[in-house]
Amino acid sequence: SVVVFGSCNMDLVAYVPVAPKQGETVTGREFRTVPGGKGANQAIAAAKAGADARMIGAVGGDEFGAEIHRVLRESTVDTQGLRTVSGRSGTAHIVVDDRGDNSIVVVPSANGTVDALADGDEEIIAGSDSLLLQLEIPQAGVAAAAAAGKRNGVRVVLTPAPAAPLPEELLHDVDLLVPNEHEAAVLTGHDDPERALTALLELVPEVVITLGARGCVYGSSEGSRHEVPAFDVQAVDTTAAGDTFVGVLSAALGEGEEVPAALRRAAAGSALSVQRNGATSAMPTRDEIIRFMAN
């Protein structure tokens, strides 16, 4: 089973022909609200891919919090560890233009309260095989959860996004680090993925660097290396490709798949998700992934 300790947001998305410049107002063509946040995205991706998934985090006592709760449960994510706190739920204010480029303002709100373990969290973490972490909650919360994972022999998987430098104490508790190319460069100062991989393996035992349409590279400090190409598909919306990748990867590892097979399943899952609009609504089921790989 997989537990996510992280963020939940309501994504408020405005679609515009051309994004406004500073001080400018433009008319949008469409508005959508979609539950998201890297934490909730990874939990939903893992659950849809067949894992027994739980979500630990916080939402506000507003209508967005209720909707995030509902969508997680509908995706079969266990929300016993999802607290409702006073104030607003986290929101992401997203403007997407006709070229598919976006700009985003994230307001953490309730996510900002997830800065330590709450009662019951350690038991939920200890009862899981993998703990998935990202950086959309306070770093103190990420560190507390990672330490609990380490203490209980749970595989700790960190997506270091949004990109930020990480304290060494946190990295000590991480088993698998999954940055994209940009995040790997921020962490190591190396734009070249091979050099970044080598540098990151000095810090954590296993690393996957995702490279968008170019797939991913995996390395372990024991010396194994795998390159997994992306599936050749027509991408329409790459939002949450990385979150889908991590969720599916964890589900596959939880089933006992070996690393190369699990990486291939993650590549298939994210390839399916980028062909559809929306983040969580675009995530594929286990059956869809297996069928796609067979073709």
- Active-site residues, by number, are 243
Nearer to ligand ADP, 215 or 219 (CB): 215
With respect to ligand ADP, which residue has the nearer C-beta, 49 or 274? 274
Count CB neighbours of 194 within 10 A.
13
| Shortest separation between residue 271's beta carbon and ligand ADP, angstroms | 4
- The interface with ligand ADP within residues 227-286 (CB under 6 A) comprises 230-231, 233, 235, 238, 241-242, 245, 267, 270-271, 274
Binding mask 145-184 for ligand ADP (x = CB under 6 A): -----------------------------------x----
- Residue 110, CB half-sphere, CA atoms under 13 Å: how many? 28
Using CB under 6 A, which of 19, 199, 213, 293 touches ligand ADP?
213
Q: Is 218 in the site for ligand ADP (CB under 6 A)?
A: no
CB nearer to ligand ADP: pick between 65 and 179: 179
Indicate if the alpha-carbon torsion angle 269, 275, 278, 284 is positive or negative. Answer: negative
Nearer to ligand ADP, 10 or 267 (CB): 267
Residue 227 in tokens: 């390159």
SS3 9: strand
The two three-digit tokens of residue 287, written as one number: 């059956």
Find the shortest distance in angstroms from Cβ 63 to ligand ADP: 28
Is 285 buried (19+), middle (13-18) or exposed (0-12) by CB count in 10 A? middle
Q: How far is CA 48 from the centre of its chain?
A: 14
In whole angstroms, the minimum distance from the beta carbon of 262 to ligand ADP comes to 12
**53 C-beta neighbours (distance < 10 Å), count:** 29
* Distance separating alpha carbons of residues 123 and 16, to the nearest angstrom: 45
Question: Residue ranges of the alpha helices (H) in 75-201?
Answer: 121-126, 139-151, 168-172, 181-188, 193-200
Number of residues that bind ligand ADP (CB under 6 A): 19
Interaction between residue 211 and ligand ADP (CB under 6 A) = yes
Q: Which residue ranges make up the site for ligand ADP (CB under 6 A)? A: 180, 210-213, 215-216, 230-231, 233, 235, 238, 241-242, 245, 267, 270-271, 274
